[in-house]
Each structure stands twice: as structure tokens, then as C-alpha cells.
Homo-oligomer: A and B are copies of this chain.
């Protein structure tokens, strides 16, 4: 094999596929990027068996071939080369020579035959959304997936398509995040659970332009994202997702309309008094036209008054401040509405169209006052 690519193209391609290289593995071949120049295009692939990424880059194929190179070493070398044409050559299956200007690297390689290729996917139907929208819905929900594997389903997000609506849901047992977006076309109903890690990596790769599109297609066990010159294939999480609709209610006893930044900054300040691992709640005392936020810990205490508009009853309720912060941080609206039933029922932060719904369970605060 002998190929010639611009350094910038190589850097971009390697950086994209590297997202599918596992940080820890006992199989050296999984730590590799496959360079496939057996056809008319130069294709880079990485695959950790859950998530696989493939991208094509511009370049000249002098002689066809295929080789697997350690991703970490290859990407570091490529990044530090002068900004010029890079030649990658192989003489055998276990040696690659990378040359750029007067610099010449000789590194160990592995045969392409040992590499586990992406599963061949027959794409039937696909939905189309903009890179921007995909990136946004992931950012606005990903924080409430569970980060450990005790319940596999909670480590993923529900992607639910119904007609021309895509609903994305994540939950971790203490809270639920829901984003609903309208699609340009109508599609067959479909429900899949996408691994959180896949969505995190995809968010890093896609540019986020509003006019660039991602095509998302499904097979029985996989979801496929296709954009630009890149293909991302991920396994789905098996099983039936939690029935969240029965947890959502539109009744309320107290509704508060408040400036989002003011509320967020105030809760953010209050968390200074909580050491990592400490479970002190923030107490919100809703009275007349104000919310008083109070927190008390070993370090000290804070209270702050925020003006708001209130419908309904007065209420005193406690929350894990982190959960409020996570939700408020991703909401773009300047003003938000909070809906409460009582001190033991979940709080809902949602907009009028319910394009976002954040459900947060309260905590008991008797001990803290």
C-alpha cells in the first residue's frame, strides 16, 4: 500500500474515527485504526464492537492495500507532522512508514485481516434532521442518563419517532428529561434505545451547523448515523423502555414563573456550601411573589430571595441542587415555569408546547431546616 494525503485531511479523519477506539481493551487490534485503500477511496475505520465509525478522506492511492495502525500513536504522529503531504507506505503487514517532508517514521502495524469490520447494514428507511438539532437534543437530555451499568436501559436514551415527531428521553431514577422536536417529514412509528456513549461521541464529531443534515436509519439491532463523509454504526440497547407517560401529569397546585438566569445563579452559589458527596438539599420556600432559597451545611448557610410570579398555593420543597442546575443550564428560554403539586411530588420544568419537560423528584428536608 502507498497513499498520499494532506496532513489536515488525515488529522480530521483520524480524529473522527478515534472516537470509536476504546480507551481500555485487552485486544490490541481494537486499539487500531484501519486504513483501507483497497478500492478507489481511502477509508478510515475504528470499531469497539459497540460503536463503529468509518470516514473517507481525500488522497491519492499509489498502490492499493490495507493496514491497521495503533490509533494513539498514529494520531499523535500525524498531528505533529509538518503541514504538508503525508505518505503512508507498507512493505509488509507489520510495518508502516510514514513520511512527511524530511521526517520519516517507522512504526509497527497489524494486518487488516485481523480487524473487525463494521456490520453490513442495509438501510431501508431513514429520518433526516439537522446536525444542529441532533447536537442540541442530545445536550439537553444526556445529563440525566445513569452513569453506571446496574440498569443498562438507564445508560441509554429513548429515541421515539411517531409520525413527524421525534421524542428523546433520558432518566436516571431521580429525574426525567424529555425533548420533543418536529421532523420535516412523517415516518413509521419506531422506538429504540441508543447507548449514551454513542450519543456523546456523535455530538463531538458532528459540526452542529443548522444546514448540514444527518440521516438516521435503523436495523433490528443497530442505529446508523450518516453525515458528511462519515458513517457511525452503534448497537442498540435491547429491551422495552420505561413507561414514562404515566409519570407525567399536567395537574399542579403551584406554578412559578421566574427568570432562569437568576434562579440558576442562585442555586449555583448555594452549592458552594456543599462538599462532594454531601447530600444537603436546597430548600425553596415559595410565598407570595417570591421564592426564598436556603441551604445549610457544615460549612455555613446561605439564603437568597428571588422575585417571581406565582399561581396557586404557597409551598416549601427541597431538591438536590445539582438536578435543578443540570436542567436549568440547558434550557434556552429566559423565563421558565416550574409546576409543583406538593412537597412530595415531582416538580416539572416545562414550556408551553412541552418541547422540553424536566421532571425532578424532591427530597425530604425535615432534617435540614
A-side residues, CB < 8 A to B, are: 73, 76-77, 80-82, 102-108, 265-266, 268-269, 272-273, 299-306
Chain B residues near A102: list those with CB within 8 A: 304-306
**How far, in angstroms, from A81 to B304 measured CA to CA in the complex?**
11
Closest 9 pairs (CB-CB, A-B): A107-B300, A103-B304, A80-B269, A106-B301, A102-B305, A76-B272, A105-B302, A106-B300, A102-B304
**How far, in angstroms, from A21 to B299 measured CA to CA in the complex?**
18
Minimum C-beta distance from A71 to chain B (A): 13
Chain B residues near A107: list those with CB within 8 A: 273, 299-300
Chain B residues near A272: list those with CB within 8 A: 73, 76-77, 80
B302 adjacent to A104 (CB under 8 Å)? yes
**How far, in angstroms, from A77 to B107 measured CA to CA in the complex?**
52
CB-contact partner of A108 in B82, B265, B300, under 8 A: B300
B306 adjacent to A105 (CB under 8 Å)? no
B302 adjacent to A265 (CB under 8 Å)? no
**How far, in angstroms, from A105 to B107 measured CA to CA in the complex?**
59
**How far, in angstroms, from A105 to B108 measured CA to CA in the complex?**
60
**How far, in angstroms, from A141 to B76 measured CA to CA in the complex?**
28
Chain B residues near A299: list those with CB within 8 A: 73, 107-108
Chain B residues near A301: list those with CB within 8 A: 105-106
A269 adjacent to B104 (CB under 8 Å)? no
- List 14 interface pairs A-B (beta carbons < 8 Å), by A numbering: A76-B272, A80-B265, A80-B269, A80-B272, A81-B269, A82-B265, A102-B305, A102-B306, A103-B303, A104-B302, A104-B304, A105-B273, A105-B301, A107-B299
A73 adjacent to B269 (CB under 8 Å)? no
Chain B residues near A304: list those with CB within 8 A: 102-104
**How far, in angstroms, from A316 to B107 measured CA to CA in the complex?**
24
Minimum C-beta distance from A337 to chain B (A): 21
Chain B residues near A300: list those with CB within 8 A: 73, 105-108
Specify the chain B residue showing the minimal Cβ separation from A105.
B302
CB-contact partner of A302 in B103, B268, B303, under 8 A: B103
B73 adjacent to A103 (CB under 8 Å)? no
**How far, in angstroms, from A16 to B103 measured CA to CA in the complex?**
45
Minimum C-beta distance from A284 to chain B (A): 14
Minimum C-beta distance from A369 to chain B (A): 15
Chain B residues near A103: list those with CB within 8 A: 266, 269, 302-304
Chain B residues near A82: list those with CB within 8 A: 265
Candidate in A107, A300, A304 with the most chain B CB atoms within 10 angstroms: A300
Chain B residues near A80: list those with CB within 8 A: 265, 268-269, 272
Chain B residues near A108: list those with CB within 8 A: 299-300
Minimum C-beta distance from A300 to chain B (A): 3
Task: Add 4 more A-B contacts to A80-B269, A108-B300 (CB < 8 A).
Answer: A77-B272, A80-B272, A105-B269, A105-B300
**How far, in angstroms, from A103 to B80 measured CA to CA in the complex?**
50
Minimum C-beta distance from A273 to chain B (A): 8
**How far, in angstroms, from A73 to B275 measured CA to CA in the complex?**
10
Minimum C-beta distance from A262 to chain B (A): 9
Minimum C-beta distance from A299 to chain B (A): 6
Chain B residues near A106: list those with CB within 8 A: 300-302
Minimum C-beta distance from A288 to chain B (A): 15
Minimum C-beta distance from A143 to chain B (A): 20
Minimum C-beta distance from A116 to chain B (A): 23
**How far, in angstroms, from A268 to B103 measured CA to CA in the complex?**
12
